[in-house]
Amino acid sequence: MSTFSESLWNNNLDIYNFITNTDFIQQLSDGCLPEEKFRYYIQQDALYLADFGKALALLAVKATDQSHMLQFLQFAQGAVIVEKALHENYFRLYNITGGPEKMPGCFAYTHFLVSTTAIQPLEVGVAAVLPCFWIYREVGKYILKHAATPNPYQQWIDTYAGDEFDTLVTQMLEITNTLAAQTTDSLRAQMQEVFRFSCRMEWTFWNDAYVLNAWKPV
């Protein structure tokens, strides 16, 4: 019998396949992604992680299981640490200065995550943040398998395809399955719905970086 998280993945495999076939992922894997597109991605990712950490902290506040509470807090801390590392490493490497603005995809995704984790039941909030963990792991493994070597983006690839991140994703999947098993059919349906929306936003995030999507001057 499949787990709830397996049903989530299988029901959204179409979006994952779209993501791995985006020009951004294909060119990142080949090592030929234009630097300006990676710079855009890194700037937006730093902004995203700041709010992602807040969303995870909100889940910790709602958690009734102490072990889950601690894990959410550790996840939140990890997001903040990675954001800081992006600023210290990639921002310096690519000479990124000033405070970048959230572009449309990042703005929509972060507002969805923070509002969902703040307003909706814990189970729904967990399902909303899960794609960021899970899709990044799978995309990281996909790129690692297909990446050209040497690759100018190898450090980024190693971060998301490594054992440490893999462990975090496994922990998040265990929490998701535990909560899904204890909740109602209605909430499980909501979990499916927000999971798919976040998967769509993951695709949007990658695609925005490739097309350098920006606010229109209106």
Q: Are 136 and 165 in contact (CB under 8 A)?
A: yes
> Is pLDDT larger for residue 194 or for residue 148?
194
Cβ-count burial of 130 within 10 angstroms (0-12 exposed, 13-18 middle, 19+ buried)?
Answer: buried
Write down the residue that tokens 């902004």 correspond to: 47
Supply the mean pLDDT for the chain.
93
Query: Which residues are catalytically annotated?
Result: 132, 202
Name 184's Cβ contacts closer than 8 Å, sequence gap at least 6.
none
What CATH code is assigned to 4-13+35-136+161-211? 1.20.910.10
φ and ψ of 10, to 5 deg? -60, -35
What SS3 state is found at 27? helix
- Global pTM? 0.94
Task: State pLDDT tens for residues 29-75.
Answer: 999 999 999 999 999 998 999 999 999 999 999 999 999 999 999 99
Per-domain boundaries in the chain: 4-13+35-136+161-211
The pLDDT value given to residue 164: 81
